[in-house]
Structure 1
Amino acid sequence: MSQVKVSNAAKAKVAEEIKFDILTNVPEGDNELKRSQIARAFISDTITVPTKEMYSYALLASLGDDVYHEPSTAALEAHIAKISGKEAGLFMPSGTMSNQIGLRTHLMQPPYTILCDNRAHIYKYEVGGAGFHSGAAVTPVAPSNGHHLTLKDVESNVVYGPDVHFAPTEIIALENTLNGTIFPQDEIISISEFARSKGIKMHLDGARIWHVAAEIGTSLKELLDPFDSASLCFSKGLGTPIGSCLVGSKEYITRARRIRKLFGGGMRQTGFLAGAAAYALTYNFPLLARVHALAGKLQKSFEEIGVTILSPAETCMIFYDAGSIGSTYDEIAERGALLPEPLFLGGSRVVLHIQTSEDAVNDFINLIATIAEEKRKAGFIKPEIQVNGHQDVYVRRAN
């Protein structure tokens, strides 16, 4: 086949069409403005951004290809496996992928069912992935105590035995924290012992398990011992740009790696992301105690003002009832946005994170106090209501 001669001018024209300077869309000072806004945002902990120090550290990581071998990523996976008491780990681009591959790896042949809390992320916020990816039915269970599933809740809803009318429960998937609340470890152990007696696998959505370890001073190994697999997120709580890690046995992770490739999650130069995660483990994890203290301060101040708390600040979140001071979430968000230094607020869920400023917390408290006083002067009287702990009635939860 003859070679067609192409002029340098034609090649230059193509290169001119292709080139793109993304920095023209980032005005000078825009990133610093974004950092200041994040310090005053209570929407989610996923909005945190890498610091310059994290970037500098991450740039020193290795430059391998993770589908073949990436040294920094492999070292991170081994470390997460070690501290969680599992044999192996697998880096994932997102918590949703980590959960869905985690479930799919356990599930071999339908029919089968996954049992979980009816507020669980895998059930409500992963786009029906269990059904789509794994062909699995889901049994969502409302916790009878309004806080966490109990062994009794599980025993009443799990499916096992010879009756052919029902798809057997193959996995019990728990979440810790869930809506910021800590799942009591003794209850997890009881559920796990029951599950193993029936040959049922245990999976943990531990996206915010770091908060549990920081708050109650319990090792990840102890927290994860009752589970066959667990997903741990680096971006929620720890403040990395991307990433989660799935942990389990060597055989399990070998199978999960193949499924990750099948799902399109096989990545290339992930060393930078692994470096960011390593930085977060060392320098950001210790910041979680401050986050919990700020959340506790916010709750206490809200209660003193007269706000009804729907779910308390066990870690980094509180849920509150705007109606308890005669206001609405929309009004509070709009008033916050009009402050000289705006606050970025959502609905009933308030999330604090490692980049939340104490000034923002104080301004939020003052805003609520101002609105509450205005409503009282206008004649609002707080009704007598009983909070039953089922905060999902009030909550529209985001990631």
Structure 2
Amino acid sequence: MATSQFSAIADSVKFDIVSKTHALENAKKRKEISRTFICKPHLPCAVPTEEMYAYATLATLGDDVYFEPSSAALEAHVAKITGKEAGLFLPSGTASNQIALRTHLKQPPYSVLCDHRAHINKYEAGGAAFHSGAAVIPVIPPNKHHLTLQDVKDNIIISDDTHFAPTEVVALENTLNGTIIPQEEVIAISEYAHSVGVKMHLDGARIWHVSAETSTPLKELCDPFDSVSLCFSKGLGAPVGSVLVGTKQFITKARWFRKLFGGGMRQTGILAASAAYALTHNFPQLPRVHALTKKLEAGLEEIGCGILSRAETCMIFYDPTPIGVTFDEIGDRGAALSEPLFLGGSRLVVHIQTSESAIEDFLGVVRQLAEEKRAAGFVRPEGQTGIAFRDVYVRRVPKTDK
């Protein structure tokens, strides 16, 4: 009786997640991604290839809460190429940034200074306040591009006045919305911050793009920082993961916080192997990505669109109002193509799986709409300046049920 009862329970538990159409569905998703200019959770920048998954199955089967060989090898490698003593594999960039801040911040009150557009300020659900009890000082750079040494000096809190939360960490992000912080500015900020006893953290989710565009070794880019977070998804196309690097003492404490926050995982070897595959096979593709982005920018300018933020790496922000066109019109026309384009608003993200045909089709859509507006009598009003850069985060979410 007991055996038959358990057999019934076992039958109710069974679940086959692999459908007969999965291979076709995955091929369709990869095609969709090649024509997607949005980078957000339900529409990633890139997706793992079959070759990446095949390589991942060769990884070790250790337990990363204790020791996982493939993951440990990845951590050591990333620490080496960034010039740091140790690394820690984490499930996401948000976890990596927030655990870095929590590890640096010892006893409140304290504050973290960053660009107002920074991921740790805008897109990590108030994590600095929740996890670390930290105030955030979000600075708007007057040059509209990057924080400068003067911006930091003007906003940092170095005081024993009990009205204020002293700044303990200056956090920079490189790239920030696809733009590169000049390295000489990074060094100047770092030298000043360290001279007043303040730590430096880098959200380097896309630092790979900076290295690829400027031909600067990762160690040189990371030297000014006490800790750096590097992401393997987004631009590199791995399914999951970031590595946080710093001193051995820092990483030992960060590993403790990873466990405390619920980020300790077991067989992470397959994830580490995917990241290793991305470093070997996908990182070298970034110069081509940047060239495609510049081609996209040049095409939009030729049509007459405004450029709000230039193609320094893999992103541009553009404004179609000078040609009398709206983002919704472009999105609707792109979605109606026989092979749809997936578009948001002003931000366009190019990645390792973006196809040449997607670039051409997007420019074709914008060009056709511009011609239709001109034929209908549209003339750009005198003095029109287009949308403000501060509005670029308002994005149209396309339908994905096509």
Q: Deviations 1:296-351 (Å, cap 9, x if unpaired)? A: 00000100000001001000000011222211111111110000111010111000
Q: Deviations 1:163-184 (Å, cap 9, x if unpaired)? A: 2211100000000000000010
2:400 maps to: none
Residue 373 (str. 1) matches residue 368 (str. 2): no
1:136-151 alignment runs, 5 A limit: 136-151=134-149
1:12 maps to: 7
Deviation at 1:22, TM superposition (A): 1.1
Q: Which amino acid aligns with 1:149?
A: L
Matched-pair identity in %: 65
Q: Is the partner of 1:193 in helix, strand or coil? A: helix
Note if contact 2:45-2:349 (Cα within 8 Å) is conserved in structure 1.
Answer: no
Note if contact 2:344-2:395 (Cα within 8 Å) is conserved in structure 1.
Answer: no
2:213 maps to: 215
* 69, 78, 81: which one aligns with 1:80: 78
1:205 maps to: 203
Note if contact 1:49-1:239 (Cα within 8 Å) is conserved in structure 2.
Answer: yes
Q: Which amino acid aligns with 1:194?
A: Y
Q: Which amino acid aligns with 2:226?
A: D
Deviation at 1:393, TM superposition (A): 3.2
Note if contact 2:321-2:386 (Cα within 8 Å) is conserved in structure 1.
Answer: no
Residue 234 (str. 1) matches residue 229 (str. 2): no
Q: Is the partner of 1:23 in helix, strand or coil? A: coil
Note if contact 1:310-1:387 (Cα within 8 Å) is conserved in structure 2.
Answer: no
Q: Distance in 2 between matches of 1:320 and 1:338?
A: 21
1:170-185 alignment runs, 5 A limit: 170-185=168-183
Q: Which amino acid aligns with 1:39?
A: S
* 315, 318, 322: which one aligns with 1:317: 315
CA RMSD of aligned residues (A): 1.5
Normalising by structure 2, report the TM-score.
Answer: 0.95
Deviation at 1:382, TM superposition (A): 2.3
Going from structure 1 to structure 2, the CA distance change for 1:377 and 1:397 (only over 3 Å counts) comes to closer
Deviation at 1:396, TM superposition (A): 3.1
Note if contact 2:76-2:86 (Cα within 8 Å) is conserved in structure 1.
Answer: yes
Aligned length: 392
1:41 maps to: 36
Note if contact 2:83-2:222 (Cα within 8 Å) is conserved in structure 1.
Answer: yes
Deviation at 1:397, TM superposition (A): 7.0
1:50-199 alignment runs, 5 A limit: 50-199=48-197
Deviation at 1:26, TM superposition (A): 4.8
Q: Deviations 1:358-394 (Å, cap 9, x if unpaired)? A: 0110000111100111111112222434479x72333
Going from structure 1 to structure 2, the CA distance change for 1:192 and 1:397 (only over 3 Å counts) comes to farther
Q: Distance in 2 between matches of 1:222 and 1:318?
A: 26
Residue 30 (str. 1) matches residue 38 (str. 2): no
Going from structure 1 to structure 2, the CA distance change for 1:330 and 1:374 (only over 3 Å counts) comes to same
Q: Which amino acid aligns with 2:36?
A: A
Deviation at 1:187, TM superposition (A): 0.4
Deviation at 1:47, TM superposition (A): 3.6
* 350, 353, 359: which one aligns with 2:351: 353
1:232-271 alignment runs, 5 A limit: 232-271=230-269
Q: Distance in 2 between matches of 1:89 and 1:61?
A: 19
2:399 maps to: none
Note if contact 1:113-1:169 (Cα within 8 Å) is conserved in structure 2.
Answer: yes
1:280 maps to: 278
Q: Distance in 2 between matches of 1:162 and 1:27?
A: 61
Q: Structure 2 stretches of 5 or more lacking a match?
A: 397-402
Choose 341-350 or 47-56, whichever is displaced more. 47-56
Q: Distance in 2 between matches of 1:47 and 1:190?
A: 33
Note if contact 2:347-2:392 (Cα within 8 Å) is conserved in structure 1.
Answer: no
Going from structure 1 to structure 2, the CA distance change for 1:159 and 1:25 (only over 3 Å counts) comes to farther
Q: Which amino acid aligns with 2:122?
A: K
Choose 333-342 or 26-35, whichever is displaced more. 26-35
Deviation at 1:48, TM superposition (A): 1.3
Q: Structure 1 stretches of 5 or more lacking a match?
A: 1-5
Normalising by structure 1, report the TM-score.
Answer: 0.96
Q: Distance in 2 between matches of 1:179 and 1:161?
A: 32
Going from structure 1 to structure 2, the CA distance change for 1:196 and 1:168 (only over 3 Å counts) comes to same
Q: Is the partner of 2:52 in helix, strand or coil? A: helix
Q: Is the partner of 2:172 in helix, strand or coil? A: strand
Choose 22-31 or 282-291, whichever is displaced more. 22-31
Q: Distance in 2 between matches of 1:143 and 1:387?
A: 21
